[in-house]
Structure 1
Amino acid sequence: MTRQHRPNIAASVRQRLLDQARSKRIDFNLLLTRYGLERFLYRLGCSEYRERFILKGAMLFPLWGVVSYRSTRDVDLLGYGESELAALVEVFRRISRTEVADDGVIFDPASVQAEDIRDQMEYAGTRIKLNADLAGARIHLQVDIGFGDVVTPAAATADYPTVLDQPAPHIRVYPRETVVAEKFQAMVHLGIANSRMKDFHDLWVLGSQFDFDGATLTAALVRTFERRNTPLPNTVPLALTPEFFLDDRKIRQWKAFLNRAGLEIKPELSEVAAFIAGFVMPLIDSGSHRGAPDGAWWQAGGPWQAGLAPTRHALI
C-alpha cells in the first residue's frame, strides 16, 4: 500500500459515501468505485505524468454537468509516450504512490497489472487493473488506455467534480467535438456489426444538451476519420438507417443497454438514429465538400443554423 492513513479519516469517508448512496438510492459499490477512480485521477493530476494522459469516455459527462447519466465502473484515457505493458505498469505504480492529502484511499502499487485489449473497433489498447482500500472496503479499479488518436480542438485542463468535499482532480480532458467524431466514426466503421449502443446514446445526449460550432466539429470529424483511415460516408451510414434501427437484434441490444444503464429516459433507437443523422450528416457533407452552411452553429437540440451563434448561445 502507498502509506498509512489515519483510520478515522478513512472510516469517516466510507460512512459519508454510504450515507450518500442511501440518500440518493444508488448502489454503494458503484459510488465507492466512482470515488476510487476520482481519487486516482487526483493523484494523476498531481503526478509527473499528468501531461501524458487525457480523460475520455463516460466519466466526461459529470464534468460537463450531465446530471442523469449512465454509470461507469472504469475510466478511459488517451495516452502518449511509451505503450509497452511493463512501462505502463511502472507508470501506474508511481501514480498510485503519489503523496496527497489524506482522502482515506490507500492504493496498492503491487496490485497493478496490465494487459493488451482489442475492442470491437480493432484498435489496440491497454487495460490497467489495480486495487485500493477504503477503511476495509476493497475497490477494484480498471483503466483503459488508447493510443494514437487525434484530439480536435486541443485538450483542455479542467477540475473534475468530486463526490465529497475533497480537492478536485486537475487533469487534461477530451473536447466534446472529438467525442462526437470518434463515436460517429465507430458507427460508420462497424455497420450492422455494431453493438456499441452506448455510442448512440452518447451522441443523442451530446446533441441534445450542448451547443456546437460547425467549423470546429467538422474539423474534428475530418481529422478523426483521416487518423483512423476511414473514408467519410457518401450517404447516411447503415447504422442510422432502418436496416439497422429496425433490426430485431439491434432493438434488443438497445433495450438491454437502457435497462442495464438504469436510465430514466428511454427513447426508441429509431428516434435516436434520426436525431444523430440530423446532427452529424450536414457536417459530413461539409467535410466532403458537398455543401453545408458557412458559419453553421448548433444550439442544443438542433437544428443547424447558418450565421454566428448569438451571445446567449455561446459555445462552451
Structure 2
Amino acid sequence: MTTNLAASVHQRLLNHARATGRPFNDILQHYALERFLYRLGHSPYSTQFVLKGALMLTAWQIPSSRPTRDIDLLGRIENTMEQVVSAVKAICQEPVPDDGLRFETEGIIGERITETANYSGVRLRFAAYLGKARIPMRIDIGFGDPLVPGPSPVALPTILGFPPPEVQGYSRESAIAEKYQIMVYLGQINSRMKDFYDIWSLATHFSFEGSTLAQAISETFESRGTPLSLHPIAFSEAFAHDGEKQVQWEAFRRRLGTEAVPAGLQGAVQTIAAFLYPVTEALVKGESFRQRWEPTRGRWLQR
C-alpha cells in the first residue's frame, strides 16, 4: 500500500462528504465497511457469511437507507470464538487490489452477544487504517437462523468507484421476520426504533408473496423460541402514542436526517401492522396465506 494512495483516497472521501453534506466520519466508516466486504467476497469464506442488517438496505437501493457503523452477518461456520476470529483475520488479509486500507487484526477483541434467550452470536472489534486515520470496525455475526428464501448474490454500491463488493445477501423476508421477532420478544421495553424504520421501509418499497413471508416468520419465531401473538404490543395504540417511544422515534429521525421517515411513530406502526397482522393472524389460526403485498397501495391483495 502506498502512502500516496491512502492520501488520495482520504481526499476523495473528504470531497464526497462535502458534496453530499454527510459527516466525513460516516463516509470514512462506510468506506472501511465496503472494502472489508470486498475482501470477504474474494475470500474462501465468501459463501460462509451472509450479509444482513443496514447494509442490505443499501444493497436493495432504498433511497433513505440508514447509515451504519458496523457489519451484520449470518455465519455458516463453526460457532466458536476461535473459528470466527480466524475467519475474519483471513478475510482482512485477503490479497486484493490496493484501496489504501489496512486492517489491523492482531488485536481483535471478541465477545458473545445475546439478543434473546434462544439466540446468540459473536461480536468482533478491531481497527482499519487509511494512512494515519484509525477507523473502528465492529462485526456482529449470528448463527443458526433460518433463511427464507435462501441467500442470493448482491453487489453493493461503492463510494469512490472501486470494484464493488459481491457477497451473499439476506432475503428481505427473513430480515423482516427477525426484526418482527425482536419486537414481539421485547414488547413494551423495545427501544430499537431502527427495526420499525427498516420494516416500514421494506413494506413501502417492495412487494411480497404472502406465503414466503409467512414461512420466514414462522421458521424464525420457532427457531428463536418466541410464540406468535394476535395482539403484539408493538402494534398497539398505547405503544405508538407512548411519550417515551415518541421521543425515541424523534431522536432516531433526527439522526437519520431525512424527511422520508414518518413524522410520528404511529404512522410507521400503522403501516407495519397493516403489513404483518394479516400474516400473523393466518399463522396463529394455522391457515395458509397466499395474498400479495402491494407497497403503493399499502395492503394485501388476493392472488
TM class by shorter chain equals: over 0.9
Pair 1:57 & 2:53 matched:
yes
1:244 aligned partner: 239
2:295 aligned partner: 300
Q: How far is the alpha carbon of 1:55 from its aligned partner?
A: 0.5
Corresponding residue to 2:210 among 207, 214, 232 = 214
Q: Distance in 2 between matches of 1:242 and 1:175?
A: 30
Unmatched 5+ residue regions in structure 1? Answer: 308-316
Corresponding residue to 2:114 among 107, 112, 118 = 118
Is the contact made by 2:116 and 2:224 (CA closer than 8 Å) also made in structure 1?
A: no
1:87 aligned partner: 83
Q: How far is the alpha carbon of 1:9 from its aligned partner?
A: 1.9
| Secondary structure, counterpart of 1:86 in structure 2 | helix
Percent identical pairs in the alignment equals 42
**Which amino acid in structure 1 is aligned with residue 172 of structure 2?**
R
Q: Distance in 2 between matches of 1:62 and 1:26?
A: 16
| Secondary structure, counterpart of 2:167 in structure 1 | strand
For the aligned residue pairs, the C-alpha RMSD in angstroms reads 1.6
Q: How far is the alpha carbon of 1:50 from its aligned partner?
A: 1.2
| Secondary structure, counterpart of 2:4 in structure 1 | helix
**Which amino acid in structure 2 is aligned with residue 257 of structure 1?**
F
Corresponding residue to 1:263 among 258, 272, 278 = 258
Q: Distance in 2 between matches of 1:210 and 1:147?
A: 27
1:32 aligned partner: 28
Q: Distance in 1 between matches of 2:81 and 2:16?
A: 37
**Which amino acid in structure 1 is aligned with residue 208 of structure 2?**
F
Is the contact made by 2:64 and 2:260 (CA closer than 8 Å) also made in structure 1?
A: no
**Which amino acid in structure 1 is aligned with residue 295 of structure 2?**
A
Is the contact made by 1:208 and 1:300 (CA closer than 8 Å) also made in structure 2?
A: yes
Is the contact made by 1:38 and 1:169 (CA closer than 8 Å) also made in structure 2?
A: yes
Pair 1:195 & 2:191 matched:
yes
Instruction: Indicate how the Cα distance of structure 1 residues 12 and 121 shifts in structure 2: closer, same or farther if over 3 A, else same.
Output: farther
Deviations 1:68-114 (A, max 9, x none): 22211111111122222222222111111110011111111213221
| Secondary structure, counterpart of 1:118 in structure 2 | strand
For 1:142-291, list aligned pairs within 5 A. Answer: 142-233=138-229, 235-267=230-262, 268-289=264-285
Is the contact made by 2:118 and 2:225 (CA closer than 8 Å) also made in structure 1?
A: no
| Secondary structure, counterpart of 2:72 in structure 1 | strand
Q: Give the count of matched residue pairs.
A: 301
Q: How far is the alpha carbon of 1:166 from its aligned partner?
A: 0.9
Unmatched 5+ residue regions in structure 2? Answer: none
Q: How far is the alpha carbon of 1:216 from its aligned partner?
A: 1.0
Q: Distance in 2 between matches of 1:81 and 1:291?
A: 35
Corresponding residue to 1:70 among 66, 70, 77 = 66
**Which amino acid in structure 2 is aligned with residue 205 of structure 1?**
S
Q: Distance in 1 between matches of 2:286 and 2:115?
A: 33
Pair 1:6 & 2:21 matched:
no
Q: How far is the alpha carbon of 1:11 from its aligned partner?
A: 1.6
Corresponding residue to 1:15 among 11, 15, 22 = 11
Q: Distance in 2 between matches of 1:222 and 1:269?
A: 26
**Which amino acid in structure 2 is aligned with residue 111 of structure 1?**
G
**Which amino acid in structure 1 is aligned with residue 277 of structure 2?**
M
TM-score, structure 1 normalization: 0.91
| Secondary structure, counterpart of 2:54 in structure 1 | coil
Q: Distance in 2 between matches of 1:262 and 1:120?
A: 30
Instruction: Indicate how the Cα distance of structure 1 residues 258 and 61 shifts in structure 2: closer, same or farther if over 3 A, else same.
Output: same
Instruction: Indicate how the Cα distance of structure 1 residues 68 and 282 shifts in structure 2: closer, same or farther if over 3 A, else same.
Output: same
Q: Distance in 1 between matches of 2:209 and 2:245?
A: 31
Is the contact made by 1:70 and 1:263 (CA closer than 8 Å) also made in structure 2?
A: no
**Which amino acid in structure 1 is aligned with residue 248 of structure 2?**
Q
**Which amino acid in structure 2 is aligned with residue 237 of structure 1?**
P
Q: Distance in 2 between matches of 1:148 and 1:222?
A: 15
